[in-house]
Chain A
Amino acid sequence: MASTATTVDPRAGAALERLGRWLDNRTVLSVLFMLPAASLLLLFLTYPLILGVWMGFTDVKIGRPGVFIGFENYISLFQDGVFLLSVFNTIVYTVVATVLKFGLGLWLALLLNHHIPLKAYVRAFVLLPYIIPTVLSAIAFWWIYDAQFSIISWALTQMGLLDAYIDFLGQPWNARWSVIAANVWRGIPFVAICLLAGLQTISPSLYEAAALDGANSWQRFWHVTVPMLMPILAVVLTFSVLFTFTDFQLIYAITRGGPLNSTHLMATLAFQRAIPGGQLGEGAAIATAMIPFLVGATVFSYYGLQRRKWQQGSADD
């Protein structure tokens, strides 16, 4: 190796050495390593987010650059009945679907946590609704809810329980419950599998200790399962709320926001105003208006549920 060292120009050698020292610096190195990932995030997340927020303060339309108009978009939105209805719809959709997804998902997880035959296959099977592309399952639901060809209506009339077909997607509240049902069907597997993973981390000896302490099965669930599941429940709940609140695909494929805007969520309304409607500024404002809700939900579940004193080390007394 000595021969190669002598062939290098001494000035170049010194420059290399400086470069080497520079690269040995922890700060330089960590910035360098983070750069590829950070640039992707900046380009595809931060830039569109900032652009969207900015557009919300302008009157930009498709094909016409806008000018800054301050809070004008927001002021007009708060006097806009359709926007207010979409906020209402979004909150109903998120709250009802989340409660159902967690209730049913936890139940399913508890069932799957038992020793059942072909356990691995059953668990994989449960995930099916989640891995089918959303639009495909949405189209299937569209058919299930069809005014003429609905299999539910057909089955119920065949059984003699019903005289006329149900107008699933033609009446506002029918349509709301219908899309909520579709969302719940799709969301349960995610919740169930995540909570199942949480259940499996609970040591069986805790249940045995509780049984010896005199706890019946309900008390074991309440005093062992629920508190032990709380950390993962908080994380899954946060994700589930975020995904449900920002849902777009199911609604757009099944109802497009109808009837009478009764299933319009903020996300679908933002899209409709911005792209087919051409009002980019207004659509961006609607999308931006979702941010406080999302931040609120995240902060609530993060501080309210996730951080538990017993999980922390001795330093946090």
Chain B
Amino acid sequence: MASVDVRKAVKRFGTVEILHGIDVTIDNGTFVVLLGPSGCGKSTLLRMIAGLEEISAGEIAIDGKVVNNVPPKDRDIAMVFQNYALYPHMKVAENMAFGLKLRGVDAPTIDKKVREAAAILNLSPLLDRYPRQLSGGQRQRVAMGRAIVRDPQVFLFDEPLSNLDAKLRVQMRTEIRELHQRLRSTSIYVTHDQIEAMTMADKIVVMRDGHIEQQGAPLEVYDRPNNLFVAGFIGSPAMNLVSGAVRRANGTASVVTDDGLVLPVPPGAPAQEGAKVVYGIRPDHIELTSGQGALDVEVAVVEPTGAETLVVGKYGKSDIQAAFRERHAFKPGQRVPLMPMLDKVHLFDAGSGQRLG
């Protein structure tokens, strides 16, 4: 077990700068998810921690020791690759034993460790198979087994679930989480899937274009997104974002959209009269109401998922999505009165995209 400190890490490929000074601290025993769209540099950062990519500037320390010039094999880390990277010519047991064998561990110890890891991961009946004879989920588990037997200080996961089908992905998510709770090993997990990030992480690090946009506990990031990018990226269905200007009158506040419609804002909202803002409200924070001041939304599509009903509609020219726990049989074209929960409204500066208040 160890902590990982990334300080002002920069990565350049030739003249192109991919990471622009990343600062992250991964505490001992925590599960940290690097989240971002493809090309944001999250995998590069992971590979720099692994030692597979050089660090152009700044430093990375594992367990307090700077490892910039330490080769991957001496960093005491294990990595689970997106394509699993199992050795196709070795059986499952040999795949798991390979790292120990290279380190000169004696055969009985290797055998014991492989059997233990196989028992944890339900791989015991498969030890004599070749990777080719395994299903995707089983290969995924072998890849994790290969990491576990080494008992490394840090586990690195590079989008390990993206090659699995949806159902298996949910199952493996839980398994990885359970495994972490059992082993309490420091883990860094890269994904572009925000659901994976929300469900698995102790801490989420949201990245874009080589910068960190926000880091924090999953619900903290969900409840108080720092900026428009995080607001739009985290949460499914995505947060409704409508641009407009703040208007204050008679002690009330509202946002007037570009096409002149009104969105309610709590009176204490930290925005000046006339300020250009983006108004954000999550679909599940919109209620059906009969009260005053409701938004008159025209239903375009109704998408029942069973657990909830997603209503996609138009409020003026703006697209609005609302999610209800109840089932509603709205017809396309029908007008329904909807109301955002005032205490759940997010306001962002239209120019900088930063959160207001």
Q: Which residues of A contact B (CB under 8 A)?
A: 203, 205-206, 208-216, 219, 223-224, 227-228, 308-314, 317
**If the complex has contacts A211-B72, A213-B99, are A311 and B81 also in contact, measured as CB distance less than 8 A?**
no
Q: Which residues of B contact A (CB under 8 A)?
A: 50-52, 71-73, 77-79, 81-83, 85-90, 98-99, 102-103, 129-133, 146, 150
A203 to chain B: which residues have CB within 8 Å?
83, 85
A-B complex: 4 closest residue pairs judged by Cβ atoms: A213-B99, A205-B85, A209-B85, A314-B133
B98 to chain A: which residues have CB within 8 Å?
210, 213, 223
- Say whether A310 contacts B78, CB under 8 Å: no
- Say whether B102 contacts A214, CB under 8 Å: yes
- Say whether A205 contacts B133, CB under 8 Å: no
Q: Beyond the given A203-B85, A214-B99, A228-B88, could you list 7 further A-B residue pairs with CB under 8 A, ordered by the A residue number?
A: A209-B86, A209-B87, A210-B98, A211-B72, A212-B72, A214-B73, A311-B132
A205 to chain B: which residues have CB within 8 Å?
81-83, 85
B129 to chain A: which residues have CB within 8 Å?
314, 317
- Say whether A228 contacts B52, CB under 8 Å: no
Classify the secondary structure of B's interface with A: loop
B130 to chain A: which residues have CB within 8 Å?
309-310
A219 to chain B: which residues have CB within 8 Å?
102
| Nearest opposing residue in chain A for B150, CB measure | A213
**If the complex has contacts A215-B73, A313-B133, are A208 and B85 also in contact, measured as CB distance less than 8 A?**
yes
| Nearest opposing residue in chain B for A215, CB measure | B102
Cα–Cα distance between A228 and B225 once the two chains are bound (Å)? 48
**If the complex has contacts A310-B130, A313-B132, are A208 and B81 also in contact, measured as CB distance less than 8 A?**
yes
Classify the secondary structure of A's interface with B: helix
Cα–Cα distance between A312 and B72 once the two chains are bound (Å)? 32
- Say whether B89 contacts A213, CB under 8 Å: no
- Say whether B72 contacts A224, CB under 8 Å: no
28 of the cross-chain contacts (CB-CB < 8 Å) are A205-B81, A205-B82, A205-B85, A206-B85, A206-B87, A208-B79, A209-B79, A209-B85, A209-B87, A210-B87, A211-B51, A211-B72, A211-B73, A212-B52, A212-B77, A212-B79, A213-B73, A213-B98, A213-B102, A213-B146, A213-B150, A215-B73, A310-B89, A310-B130, A310-B131, A313-B132, A313-B133, A317-B129
| Nearest opposing residue in chain B for A213, CB measure | B99
B73 to chain A: which residues have CB within 8 Å?
211-216
B79 to chain A: which residues have CB within 8 Å?
208-209, 212
Cα–Cα distance between A311 and B130 once the two chains are bound (Å)? 9
| Nearest opposing residue in chain A for B147, CB measure | A212
